[in-house]
Structure 1
């Protein structure tokens, strides 16, 4: 079977978000790499999701949801005893979000222990692009992180691209040094890196987004895009700095959940369709600009920008 153009490796969770107008809670499914897979599929790219879910009813609903979104779920394993993780979103008056997680025993964390993992990894390694994040790495212990790095290495050896977003979340790591070590092990295999400057400053102490550009280029990336929220994005292709590409429009966000993921998906979908980096950045801005106007990470299909 032909592999999808992009395979995203991570965790999809049950998402709880609250409507501030009614105090009603809404349940959905999301997770940083799953969000990228969904938005890439909506944009017309063949996208697969590499993960593990449980055998519980919510995991079955999650798989059905991803199938309806057009995501290739052949890389999703089923864990016999664990369940799907869960998180709840809270937003402040400016739409900035914070999360509470219940995921310590999620199925995705035990992916490498499952009997089908080897076959799923071998097939995923044939994809044109592998997408992963710092959150992907944080799911696993040191042995699992080494297997993620091995997968990235194999994808590159097969002629594919490895795309990485650090998506640094301190709560997912025992300390910053552990995150830096895990990122450093996968960095030599990453050809496209899509960090958020706020995360880079928190993890590495970067004072300027050019510090982030330089570090990832030095590690081996050919294309780096540093996301800077409503200020826009700075990108550099093969070390040639583009300067800041501002967002086409600025609206007060309702909920910033999924902003970076949707930018990444819009950017990568455009790249896969043959766009130049600058055009791909603008595509990322357009999608993210719409996503932040809706609650939760995944917006209704009819709200997708044209």
Structure 2
């Protein structure tokens, strides 16, 4: 993939509350595609690539803080809508002794759900200047049906003029009416993207009938997508280009997992950053594994800048 000038990631950023000792809560911000945008911006800060985040926020102080935080990370916010009287969603993370996360959400009236209620959104108005569009299963899930249609139409329009579309299968069952609805929209997303980033556990969770990991992997690699990346947690990452045999890439060894929040999101950032700078899929998967392996050794979705691994692109 040649290096584009502008990458837009669409989704929802929420207020994140992390439970600390003594019942205290620490406020940060997070959301799957926003996490990816932050790490992507950090990795590409020395490259001629602009990273935009696409969402809707409210006119409240938390929304203003989010915008300031993104801008401080080098993320452009010109495609963000601020809606009067609306607020961001909120979630709380509790982490068990193994580093696994447990979430509680308050997001039913999140401003991000209303992004496509505008006659023409900033994303649609500036689509001709965007080279890569990145969205996830959560990006689709939070939108009403009309919004999903417009997002997929934007992806179709972008691809028709030579742009690239990347879809991450991040699946949260509680955001969908049922798995059948989710599969319908995922199939359409796969049919309209150039790179599919697939977490195998999520793929298994939304299958129509129980499937083994081997069956799910075979189905993922058979998708009608030019570039498929299958993430398997602590097992090998599998990458497949159309017409070529799959390749296996070893994960990064981690002695102690502290918090798996944003593991897949950071992997996506590492993978995309490497592909945008001319690296092969196998090299990109190794980069994604390196970044994810670092992120899961820290608390929260976004690690401190000084904790970032030394990744050369």
Smaller-chain TM-score bracket: over 0.9
Equivalent position of 1:182 in the other structure: 185
Instruction: Measure how far apart 1:216 and its partner are.
Output: 6.0
Q: Which residue of 2 aligns with 1:298?
A: 302
TM-score (norm 2): 0.91
Match of 1:269 among 245, 270, 273: 273
Aligned CA distance change for structure 1 residues 255 and 159 (closer, same or farther; 3 Å): same
Matching residue of 2:161 = 158
- Aligned match of 1:208 in 194, 204, 213? 213
Where 1:241 maps in the other structure, the secondary structure is coil
User: Alignment length, in residue pairs?
Assistant: 301
The structural deviation recorded for 1:239 is 4.3
The aligned counterpart of 1:11 is 12
Structure 2 CA distance for aligned equivalents of residues 14 and 263 of structure 1 = 22
Structure 2 residue 66 is the aligned partner of structure 1 residue 62? yes
Q: Are 1:162 and 1:192, in contact at CA under 8 Å, matched by a contact in 2?
A: yes
Cα deviation, 1:219-274, whole Å, max 9, x if unaligned, reads x3111111011113111111423343111322221000000000000110111111
Q: Is the 8 A contact 1:43 1:266 kept in 2?
A: yes
2:186 and 2:63 mapped to 1: Cα distance?
29
Tell me the alpha carbon deviations over residues 86-130 of structure 1, each in whole angstroms, 9 at most, x when there is no partner.
11111111101121111111110001113551x432314532211
Question: Does the 8 Å contact 1:79/1:114 carry over to 2?
Answer: no
* 1:149 Cα offset (Å): 1.0
SS class of match (1:164): strand
- 49, 71, 76: which one aligns with 1:72: 76
Q: TM-score, with normalisation over the residues of structure 1?
A: 0.93
Does the 8 Å CA contact 1:11/1:136 hold for their aligned counterparts? yes
Superposition pairs of residues 192-203 of structure 1, within 5 angstroms:
192-203=195-206
Q: Does 1:284 align with 2:285?
A: no
Alignment of 1:107-118 (within 5 A): 107-114=111-118, 117=121
5+ residue gaps in structure 2? none
Counterpart Cα distance in 2 of 1:256 and 1:7: 25
Shift of 1:18: 2.3
SS of aligned partner of 1:185 = helix
After TM superposition, the structure 1 stretch with the greater mean CA deviation from structure 2, 24-33 or 283-292, is 24-33
Give the conservation status (yes or no) of the 8 Å contact 2:220–2:230.
no
In structure 1, the gaps of 5 or more residues are none
Counterpart contact for 2:220–2:228, Cα < 8 Å: no
1:96 match: 100
Question: Are residues 1:173 and 2:196 paired?
Answer: no
RMSD value over aligned CA atoms? 1.7
Which 4+ residue blocks in structure 1 deviate beyond 6 angstroms? none
8 Å Cα contact 2:221-2:240 kept in structure 1: no
Q: What residue in structure 1 maps to residue 149 of structure 2? A: 146
Q: 1:216 to 1:158 in 2, by over 3 A?
A: farther
